[in-house]
Amino acid sequence: MSKDVIDLMVQGMEKSLQSLKTELSKLRTGRASTALMDPIKVDYYGSSVPVNQVGNVTTPDARTIQITPWETQIIGAIEKAILAANIGFTPQNDGKIIRISLPQMTEERRKELVKLVKKMGEDSKVSLRNQRREANEEIKKREKAKQFSEDDAKKTMDQIQKKTDEKAVEVDKIIAAKEKEIMTV
């Protein structure tokens, strides 16, 4: 009976962790990543589509993103979309491919990013605690409805706390890895 509550809570926590990982992948850390292009949409025959659906997005080296469009006539639209996204990159094209050189990050910018990463981690932990609270409320509600004995409710709440602690440690590991990635030159 309590397994369904715990399973539902763990699913929600996994979604929170996945969301954190996705958001962190979009942060520029000093080395090129194709994920930096994910939010950019290109006007392609009247439709707004992601850059990776109109060309091949690669990172030939640690400081360059390269976009090779499948149709050369769309190069201008891709360039416009990158500039319009206002993410601080200036694309350069040679008629066949678009290159984006990432500037070296300053120490100050790295520290700002670390603060942002820590805030994202704390927001993720708040989400985990909200999931824990909802699960505990469900257990209390079921205990009142006599679906659980007091002992079973206590044991289930202990399991819920244990799972929450495990996920919080996971968040800490993810954040620590991202901080290290940002601070290493």
Domain boundary assignment for the chain: 2-26+106-183, 34-101
Q: Please choose, from the candidates 111, 117, 40, the residue with its C-alpha nearest in 3D space to the C-alpha of residue 80.
A: 40
Which is more confidently placed, 124 or 61? 124
Residue 87: pLDDT above 80?
A: no
Residue 26: pLDDT above 70?
A: yes
Highest mean pLDDT among 48-52, 85-89, 113-117, 128-132: 128-132
- The fold adopted by the segment(s) 2-26+106-183 is Topoisomerase I; Chain A, domain 4 (1.10.132)
Which is more confidently placed, 16 or 23? 16
- Token pair belonging to 112: 């700002």
Which is more confidently placed, 85 or 119? 119
Collect all residues with Cβ–Cβ distance below 8 Å to 98 and sequence separation of at least 6. Answer: 66, 67, 68, 69, 75, 78, 79, 82, 91, 92
Q: What would the mean pLDDT of 19-44 be, rounded to a whole number?
A: 81
- The fold adopted by the segment(s) 34-101 is Gyrase A; domain 2 (3.30.1360)
- For residue 172, name the pLDDT band (cuts at 50, 70, 90): very high
Q: How much is the pLDDT for 28?
A: 67
Same fold yes or no, 2-26+106-183 and 34-101:
no
Residue 124: pLDDT above 80?
A: yes
Q: Measure the CA–CA gap between 84 and 78, rounded to whole angstroms.
A: 10
